[in-house]
Amino acid sequence: MAKVGRPRMFDSPQELWDAFCEYRRDTKSNPILVHDFVGKDGEEVFRQRERPLTYEGFKSWMFEKQSDLGFDSTRYFDGRMPEFVSISTHIKEIIRQDQVSGGMAGIYNASLTARVNGLVDKTENKQMIEQPLFSMEDTKQIEGSVKKLSEPEE
């Protein structure tokens, strides 16, 4: 009986892990070049910045490695293939750890890293509405009494 469905790119979790390790080596060995100008004369330089690991980057990298344009990388990470759940979870944890530690060390933008990973700095804002001690009518009466007291007697 013939198999139905798309052919697998990875036959085992080990193959997916090996692919991730290759993606990690490729990513970390290809820094981002940031165009910058330095000094009083504005000398043009290119600074190397470490490239972060991302889930989207890994999916794109796998797509480029796969010659079949029908390749679906999400099925390895969404639980449809139970034998890959453990390794795919571990890969996501490594990616998150790289992003968070890079953000904390100032290698990556900490604000963006926190937002991408669902980490938020919560601040509590309380608005207190005070009840007035007197109504508007009471206030007018008090102001009238104060005026009478402050007026010089003739």
At 14 the pLDDT is: 94
Return the structure tokens found at 14: 């080990």
Token pair recorded at residue 102: 């890079």
Long-range contacts of 126-129 (CB under 8 A, 24+ apart): none
Query: Is residue 91 within 8 Å of 54, Cβ to Cβ?
Result: no
Of all residues in the chain, the percent with pLDDT exceeding 90 is 31
Q: Packing angle between helix 55-65 and helix 85-104, nearest 10 degrees?
A: 130
pLDDT in tens, 86-142: 999 999 999 999 999 998 898 888 888 888 887 776 677 777 777 666 666 767 776
Domain extents for the chain?
Answer: 13-121
Instruction: Name the CATH code of domain 13-121 (choices 1.10.8.60, 1.10.132.80, 3.30.1330.10, 3.10.20.30).
Output: 1.10.132.80
> What letter represents residue 53's amino acid?
L
- Residues paired with 32 in a beta bridge: 49
Q: Which pLDDT tens digit goes with each residue over 86-98?
A: 999 999 999 999 9
pLDDT above 90 for 151: no
* Separation between Cα atoms, residue 58 and residue 37, nearest integer Å: 32
| Cα–Cα distance for residue pair 36/46, rounded to 1 Å | 6
Residue from 65, 66, 120, 56 nearest 91 by CA: 56
Tokens (6 digits) for 79: 């639980």
The whole-model pTM stands at 0.68
Lookup: tokens for 125? 């804002």
To the nearest 10°, the Cα dihedral for 114, 110, 102, 10? 40
Provide the token pair at 37.
Answer: 């100008």
Rg (C-alpha) for the chain, rounded Å, is 31
